Structure 1
Amino acid sequence: MKLNWIFLWVGFMVVSGTFAQDFIVAGDGSGDFKTVQEAINSVPDFRKQRTTIFIKNGVYKEKLVLPASKNNVTFIGEDKLKTIITNDDYASKLNQFGEQMGTTGSSGFFVFGNDFTARNITFENSAGAVGQAVAVRVDGDRIVFENCRFLGHQDTLYPHGKNSRQYYKNCYIEGTVDFIFGWSTAVFDECEIFCKDHGYITAASTDEETEYGFVFINCRITGDAPEKSFYLGRPWRPYAKTVFVNCFLDKHIKPEGWHNWGSEDKEKTAYYAEYKSHGPGAALTDRVSWSHQLTDDEAKKYTPENILRGEDNWDF
């Protein structure tokens, strides 16, 4: 896996001031563009080489679209706490025609292009506790977020594409209800998942023929939510798949762990599992009977490389 050494190299180049970017975005006018969308628009359609956009510290209130014609794009933020891309749309908000935006329409950033990478950036939906309000929706394939933050409440992060593979490394994701939801295959590696108020961490809608849904590896499930106020997940649709491997679970996780979304039929098709969960929320003997505790042999297949490699041998 080449991601770690590339990230170290990129970090060194940024700190040393010699990072080779194609475009610079700076809200104060000191770069090539003042807005991130202007930089995206300037990427040649169907370019085969990678285009790197360096985003200087600042708050960029934009509704971004990375089209399917813009592949091999990398965003590098100057500082993940100070490079903030934000929007405040939400599902019940009305557009200019008086129509509700809906969950998808509320998204602050639509990622349709393949081979997109983002590092050191905060993606925020600042609408507050107003129902569904998506920070980022991802449809492209071979997507990487590293050292990024995703801030919101309900439906913060939307891994949407049914054939999309996504890798989240050392990221922070917060929310309330179903704040990581969708169809994609997504690995969350050494991430912090921060639970607010009460709710459900995940709402997977994995297709039946898709082997992996959401997989959390060596993550910390933290939060300021009350004790026993959060489920690990519930199946948005039948065949939902979510697995936690060697994760710390704090006291806000309910002993039963998983919810069936009011449907006993979904208990028959959903695949919810844990391996070596630890911490106050790891009440393994109290989990619902239709969930699983992986054996050592079963757990061996849950590595980022095995889950995300695919037929094209993606080397993320």
Structure 2
Amino acid sequence: MPSSHAPRSGPGRRALLTGGAGAALALALSSGPAAARPSDPARPFGRHGSPSRRPDDRILYVHPGGLGDHTRVQAAVDAADGPGWTLVLAPGTYRETVSVDAARAGMTWIGATGDPRDVVVVYDNAAGTPRPGGGTYGTSGSATTTLRADGFTARGVTFANDFLRTDLPGNPGTQAVALKVTGDRSAFFHCRFLGHQDTLYADSAALS
């Protein structure tokens, strides 16, 4: 579930990440392949189908404006009961924390345009950020996206943590993880990882 503290405004990379899909799309137009992105605003999932023309029963569509099955990535993850599901993410900035548990093995996330600048999953927890119930998140808990499932694949997605040092003045706990992975055989194609420190945290569920 998303953390309860209110996101804070700030300059620099946070403004670039949270400026909305329109800003990301504008940045990408000059260099991204035009054929890779949906040409019709009414078809935000492009060649990947839609809720009304679903090529596979184990595909879920996420759209921040309500044109998909879900408006939040975590809601789609929760609805994907069991292994082998695919989530197609429409262009947008998804400001939330997301956790994929071990039971959801073989999950795939696809950014609909193929350009990772168009689909951004982002939050701003840091190691020293206070938890609502007391204590702090710590480095592991600061991750915007946590993947515990084996066989996870992502294509064309940005995983980001836009925490700024000014959010916690004087606090040494400034590690801010974009993505923590403990599942085996994870693969990321044409993705971006943006964070403050320990941006990509590759771990293991059990040491061998």
Q: TM-score normalised to the size of structure 2?
A: 0.67
Instruction: Specify which of 53, 60, 67 is matched with residue 87 of structure 2.
Output: 53
**Cα deviation digits, residues 57-103 of structure 1 (max 9, x gap):** 00001110000011111000123111000010000110113311110
Q: Aligned in 2, Cα 1:95/1:13: closer, same or farther, shift over 3 Å? A: closer
Instruction: Give the distance between the partners of 1:162 and 1:66, measured in 2 at CA.
Output: 13
**Cα deviation digits, residues 7-28 of structure 1 (max 9, x gap):** xxxx979886255461100000
1:245-264 matches, within 5 Å, as none
Instruction: Give the distance between the partners of 2:180 and 2:164, measured in 1 at CA.
Output: 18
Task: Please state whether the residue corresponding to 2:76 is helix, strand or coil.
Answer: helix
Which residue does 1:38 correspond to in 2? 75
2:144 is the alignment partner of 1:101: no
Instruction: Specify which of 47, 70, 74 is matched with residue 17 of structure 1.
Output: 47
How many angstroms does 1:162 deviate by? Answer: 6.2
Tell me if structure 1 keeps the 8 A contact 2:152–2:187.
yes
Which residue does 2:196 correspond to in 1? 153
2:168 is the alignment partner of 1:134: no
**Cα deviation digits, residues 43-68 of structure 1 (max 9, x gap):** 122x3xx2111000000011100000
Instruction: Specify which of 144, 147, 155 is matched with residue 111 of structure 1.
Output: 147
Task: Please state whether the residue corresponding to 1:17 is helix, strand or coil.
Answer: helix
**Cα deviation digits, residues 137-196 of structure 1 (max 9, x gap):** 000011001100001121111001166xxxxxxxxxxxxxxxxxxxxxxxxxxxxxxxxx
* Equivalent position amino acid for 1:80 in 2: P
Residue correspondences, number: 152
**Cα deviation digits, residues 265-285 of structure 1 (max 9, x gap):** xxxxxxxxxxxxxxxxxxxxx
Which residue does 1:63 correspond to in 2? 97
Q: Aligned in 2, Cα 1:24/1:98: closer, same or farther, shift over 3 Å? A: same
Instruction: Give the distance between the partners of 1:161 and 1:86, measured in 2 at CA.
Output: 23
Q: Aligned in 2, Cα 1:115/1:97: closer, same or farther, shift over 3 Å? A: same
Instruction: Give the distance between the partners of 2:127 and 2:145, measured in 1 at CA.
Output: 14
Bigger strand fraction: 1
Instruction: Give the distance between the partners of 1:111 and 1:25, measured in 2 at CA.
Output: 18
Which residue does 1:84 correspond to in 2? 120
Tell me if structure 2 keeps the 8 A contact 1:128–1:152.
no
Q: TM-score normalised to the size of structure 1?
A: 0.45
Tell me if structure 1 keeps the 8 A contact 2:183–2:205.
no
Structure 2 gaps, min length 5: 1-34, 40-45, 50-54, 169-173
1:184-263 matches, within 5 Å, as none
Instruction: Give the distance between the partners of 2:95 and 2:193, measured in 1 at CA.
Output: 15
Tell me if structure 1 keeps the 8 A contact 2:144–2:178.
yes
**Cα deviation digits, residues 193-240 of structure 1 (max 9, x gap):** xxxxxxxxxxxxxx8x8xxxxxxxxxxxxxxxxxxxxxxxxxxxxxxx
CA RMSD of aligned residues (A): 2.3
* Equivalent position amino acid for 1:33 in 2: H
Structure 1 gaps, min length 5: 1-10, 164-206, 210-316
Bigger relative CO (Cα 8 Å, ≥ 6 apart): 2
Percentage of matched positions with identical amino acids = 33
Task: Please state whether the residue corresponding to 1:41 is helix, strand or coil.
Answer: helix
Tell me if structure 2 keeps the 8 A contact 1:86–1:108.
yes
Task: Please state whether the residue corresponding to 2:66 is helix, strand or coil.
Answer: coil
Instruction: Give the distance between the partners of 1:71 and 1:162, measured in 2 at CA.
Output: 14
